[in-house]
Structure 1
């Protein structure tokens, strides 16, 4: 039971690592749905990021419930639901940003690096991180290659 509680506690970092590995696999093998070289427009980026955020919140809810599960079957169900939402949500979040970056003409690997730097900048100064997150709106404002 302690293993299931620990898996519920570590759901967020493990889900992010698995989603990054899926993106790397999709890039190398050119899997259609997890290939960042497919362009994505402004509207789909906006809705995709919002959808991924909602899925991430749902995964955090199930991960939290898995910490306080009373039976093994209950903990297993919450872990399966939480991990599936977490992996899907973060993969979708990274893929929408990477596809939008590729559509603008920026190398697609810049988006996860930018998100990581923006998150790490919160430890230095919160105002800097807020300014960097405003940079995400550049993805919405810039016209893509297809709309020129």
Structure 2
């Protein structure tokens, strides 16, 4: 097997699928005035309400150089509040604003709409998610 053939690569279908799925999200997220990375941050905060930048980065596999400008734009939109920790001012806490919390209701329909666009049943989606989480666990430490 020629390992340099595109059809024999694992990375290419992952890359292409990621781009295609992100493109499916775009019109859904435009209604909320969110980018896909902002949507990821919002999902985490809808679940946890407050997190540090470090915790967000670890959970989303993003470094602080990527997160800081992203969070600054989200704060300018009024979706989150950034505050320095009282015990350690090097730590920045990110909390949902009232507007950010309110946006959750509008976002509730997005996962079902995306699943419909992907034309995969619940079992297929669950299996794909499990495989991708396993892959992330194996390579996520890099």
What is the TM-score with the length of structure 1 in the denominator? 0.29
Which has the larger strand fraction? 2
Higher helix share: 1
Could you say which structure has the greater relative contact order, defined with CA pairs below 8 angstroms and 6 or more residues apart?
Answer: 1
TM-score by length of 2: 0.30
